[in-house]
Amino acid sequence: MFTISYMRSTWRTLGRDRFSGIVAVCLAVFVIGLSYGATAATAGLPAWLPIVLSVTVLAAGSEFLFIGIIAGGGSPIAALLAGLVVNARHLPYGLSVPDAVGTGWRRFLGVHLMNDESVAMTLAESDAERKRAAYWVCGFGILLGWPAGAALGVLIGTFVPDTSAFGLDAVFPAVLLALIVPALRDRATLRVALVGAGAAVASSPFLPTGIPVLVALSGLIFLGRVKEPESAAPEGVTSPDRRKCESSAE
């Protein structure tokens, strides 16, 4: 009864469009979970491992990376370090949505529900009440959808020898690519991505599996310096007239 009342209250707070958007995101995460579970199963990893990770870690990027490195014969330590590096993004996440996470005992659960999707949905809202509703609804949706997808994916991977026939192995890379491409329009981001990718590819033949992913972080060195703002022109003088103003002053 409480659950029905809560859902009705959330529906009124968020509205139909936003609530439907959250449901769509959670369904997409469920599909990605299928790929995750199937990948782990076909790699010969224990069936319980991706399911436990999906509940306790609840972070698709780091879990995929961890599973991929272990399946490729990499060191568990390298897999753990790579996962921690990827999950470091949760630090600024926590600073950006502190009010939505809650206080007291709720904060422990709220922090666990923190992921890319719940934070993105929260930041899209301007009202405090809508922020909290979006965060918790999306967080719980991911908590249900991600492990459920992983479990079903493990089941599929166990009984279907070649899951690539379904294209499940391409789901996660395709989603990541869709998220990354718009950001590459920025020259600084593109430069960092290219340098990092080049460093990872160049070091792959010489380093153990999983370490090149960490080497790719070297691209951040080339982020570039922030350009210093030009000296302020007199009030009312636009940028194209700046030089004329300075020459006349001399």
Give the C-alpha separation, 129 to 145, whole Å: 24
Structural domain including 113 reads: 2-166
Residue 95: per-residue pLDDT: 86
Return all residues near 232 (Cβ < 8 A) that are at least 6 apart: none
Positive or negative torsion for Cα 164, 169, 175, 181: negative
Asked if residue 118 belongs to a domain, the reply is yes
Domain total for the chain? Answer: 1
**pLDDT confidence band for 225 (50 / 70 / 90):** very low
User: What six digits make up the tokens of 216?
Assistant: 């790719």
Give the C-alpha separation, 219 to 200, whole Å: 10
Asked if residue 51 belongs to a domain, the reply is yes
Give the C-alpha separation, 75 to 247, whole Å: 64
- The end-to-end CA distance of the chain, in Å, is 78
Highest mean pLDDT among 24-28, 72-76, 137-141, 161-165: 137-141
Closest among 157, 161, 107 to 136, alpha carbons compared: 107
Contact 141, 22 (CB under 8 A): yes
Residue whose pair of structure tokens reads 């879990």 in the numeric block = 63
Give the C-alpha separation, 196 to 12, whole Å: 45
Identify which has the larger pLDDT, 240 or 155: 155
Asked if residue 196 belongs to a domain, the reply is no
Asked if residue 111 belongs to a domain, the reply is yes
Q: Using the predicted structure, report yes or no on whether residue 50 has a pLDDT greater than 90.
A: yes
pLDDT digits (tens, 9 = 90+) for 174-190: 666 665 677 678 888 78
Alpha-carbon torsion, ordered 144, 34, 81, 141, to 10 deg:
-20
Give the C-alpha separation, 68 to 210, whole Å: 8
Asked if residue 140 belongs to a domain, the reply is yes
Asked if residue 123 belongs to a domain, the reply is yes
Least confident of 73-87, 111-125, 204-218: 204-218
Asked if residue 228 belongs to a domain, the reply is no
Residue whose pair of structure tokens reads 């590096």 in the numeric block = 85
Asked if residue 115 belongs to a domain, the reply is yes
Residue whose pair of structure tokens reads 């080497």 in the numeric block = 215
Residue 151: per-residue pLDDT: 96
Return all residues near 128 (Cβ < 8 A) that are at least 6 apart: 99
User: What six digits make up the tokens of 31?
Assistant: 């599909």
